[in-house]
Structure 1
Amino acid sequence: MRIVFMGTPDFAVASLDALVTAGFDVVGVITAPDKPAGRGQKIAEPAVKKYAVSKNLPVLQPEKLKSPEFIEQLRALNADLQVVVAFRMLPEVVWNMPPKGTINLHASLLPQYRGAAPINWAVINGETETGVTTFFLKHEIDTGNILFSEKVPVDDEDTAGDIHDKLMQTGAALLVKTVQAIADGQYQEIPQSSIDDEALKHAPKIFKETCQINWNQPVKQVHNLIRGLSPYPTAFTTFDNKTLKIFKAEVQEKEPGIQPGGYLTDSKTYLKFACRDGFICAKNVQLEGKKRMDIEEFLRGLRVG
């Protein structure tokens, strides 16, 4: 079975590597174009491209997925199956091309958390479990027939980064299982349940306003927001008239007399912000214009205006 793989970031590399290691015939890799990154704006290659080149796999990096040139190149690969992991939304002319269809690995237990940021929103919403799902692509995003899924627990202190790494490995294994089942013709398609829309939790793209901490909220909700946005794009607040990102924090009981948004510090070991019903004790932070650091190091260099 000839397979074309489509993906871009590190999350997708684990899946591509699992397919190659399992001996599947990956005849082409589609990924994003190289682009400037970092302070120096040096041209950077996507993680998937770096891996593909190391394995001598053919790579295509189309600017536009509907361009006639790319469609012709893709068709020439003569794929039986296309596999998508952390890539762009595909036009129908692309996902409908191979005879065995196009499958996607999504980082949630569909139909819950359809959208661009399923890992972040599962943690922000305080879920105790999430998972990965493989399904066939169709018109509406993340709504195709489900093939397989696998649950993964979310621990109380897990960040989005922790869950990302868990799902990356679990997803890679589930993808191999899915591709093998398709190769063997041993699978069953499960239509996504027609759940009442009010029961569905969504995972839209995260914007800057989502990341600003509202100290009037319950402390558990604020803690989940911090976990769900760490390490990226990161929850933040204003401190000493500058933006302070909080990557890691602990929950503490609130002392009386401190209004939400107020803070306490001994200038050596702790900095804690008051929420509606408790304290968020910052453990790892980054002040605007500074590097990321643990709270003790941050407080040693602190001069509050």
Structure 2
Amino acid sequence: MNKNLRIIYMGTPEFAVPALELLVKEGWNVVAVISAPDKPQGRGKKMGSSPVKVAADALGIPVLQPTNLKSPLFQEQLKSYQADLQVVVAFRMLPESVWSMPPQGTFNLHASLLPNYRGAAPINWVLINGEKETGVTTFFLKHAIDTGNIIHQEKEPIYEDDDAGKLYERLMRKGAELVLKTVEDIASGTVVPQAQDDTQVKHHAPKIFKETCKIDWNRSAVEIHNLIRGLSPYPAAWTEVNGKSCKLTGSKPINADKKDLIPGMYATDNKSFLHFQTGDGMLAITSLQAEGKRRMEIEEYLRGNTL
């Protein structure tokens, strides 16, 4: 196996850090990292670097931060590294002039079992749709997003107490291992990519917007519970309580209906429980974040607030 393969790594958020660190730890020749430009962060709006740039700096790897991936200057810089292979994890869409540059191609890690859940938010949508299983996929890039030939897949069960945060952590680690396996197999010439079967596409994973997160109380308790866990901890499902926006971050369906309540109305003892009537069943809220407040367990919130 040729570990001198020259690799360019592209990524931005925390999700892309473990794969980069694992490749370097295992002795692979990552010659440069491409990440998003620094931007204002936090309340002080100080300029901050992406998690991948921070990791690359710590590893002593040169970092390019182009604002325009089609820029001739950037593409000349990229070409100067003479990469054999490019690895993409949670980065933006690449022009063909970039992904077609290295002789061994460019592959991407996606947090679903493709061809299902193509798109920007696969971890959220598998939970929102109540799936019992997901996984990670590596595939070679081509024109249409998330449609390239599959290299490897690994399945991951979804547990009843999973939310987007917990599933993100597990898929981030599993994805790092799959990136390493994919690089090893490309280097040893044992990869046999498989075309995606578009007839098997049942769900997509479009970007999450604020309206996606608004709770429709006419839906069932199970559906709303899945929406809440699929959006927790961020960006979080929301509703209005006493005229103010409130993020609901934890819930549990309960097998009951209050005949005197219509969907969206709630019952509480202002001590230990907050139960919303839905279109089918009641939903117990276990944690929330009121406007201008931090996230709290329901008992803590009710100790200081009357509903």
Question: One fold, TM greater than 0.5?
Answer: yes
Distance in 2 of aligned mates of 1:300 and 1:101: 58
Structure 1 counterpart of 2:282, from 279, 283, 293: 279
Displacement after TM superposition at 1:241 (Å): 0.7
Corresponding position: 1:290 with 2:293: yes
Displacement after TM superposition at 1:297 (Å): 1.4
Distance in 2 of aligned mates of 1:180 and 1:213: 45
Distance in 1 of aligned mates of 2:97 and 2:42: 34
Aligned residue type for 1:174 = L
* Cα deviation code 1:198-248 (max 9, x no counterpart): x43100001100000011001110000001001111000000111110111
The answer to whether the 8 Å contact 2:32/2:81 transfers is: yes
Structure 2 counterpart of 1:228, from 216, 223, 230: 230
Distance in 1 of aligned mates of 2:43 and 2:244: 20
* Cα deviation code 1:174-205 (max 9, x no counterpart): 11000000000011010001316xx4310000
Distance in 2 of aligned mates of 1:256 and 1:168: 41
Task: Map 1:1-305; keep pairs closer than 5 Å.
Answer: 1-195=5-199, 199-257=201-259, 258-304=261-307
Displacement after TM superposition at 1:254 (Å): 2.2
Distance in 1 of aligned mates of 2:79 and 2:274: 58
Distance in 1 of aligned mates of 2:104 and 2:16: 21
SS in 2 for 1:3: strand
SS in 2 for 1:168: helix
SS in 2 for 1:290: coil
Displacement after TM superposition at 1:66 (Å): 0.7
| Equivalent residues, number | 302
SS in 1 for 2:252: strand
Displacement after TM superposition at 1:303 (Å): 3.6
Distance in 1 of aligned mates of 2:44 and 2:265: 38
* Cα deviation code 1:259-278 (max 9, x no counterpart): 11010111011111111121
Aligned residue type for 1:45 = S
SS in 2 for 1:238: strand
Give the alignment's TM-score, normalised by structure 2: 0.97
Q: Which runs of 5+ in 2 are unaligned?
A: none
The RMSD of aligned alpha carbons is 1.0
Aligned residue type for 1:290 = K
Distance in 2 of aligned mates of 1:286 and 1:256: 25
The answer to whether the 8 Å contact 2:17/2:52 transfers is: yes
SS in 2 for 1:255: coil
The answer to whether the 8 Å contact 2:270/2:306 transfers is: no
SS in 1 for 2:44: coil
Aligned residue type for 1:219 = A
SS in 2 for 1:210: helix
The answer to whether the 8 Å contact 1:253/1:277 transfers is: no
Distance in 1 of aligned mates of 2:208 and 2:180: 30
Displacement after TM superposition at 1:292 (Å): 1.3
The answer to whether the 8 Å contact 2:111/2:135 transfers is: yes
Distance in 2 of aligned mates of 1:77 and 1:249: 50
Distance in 2 of aligned mates of 1:124 and 1:12: 23
* Cα deviation code 1:45-75 (max 9, x no counterpart): 1000110000100001111111111111100
Displacement after TM superposition at 1:91 (Å): 0.5
Displacement after TM superposition at 1:255 (Å): 3.0
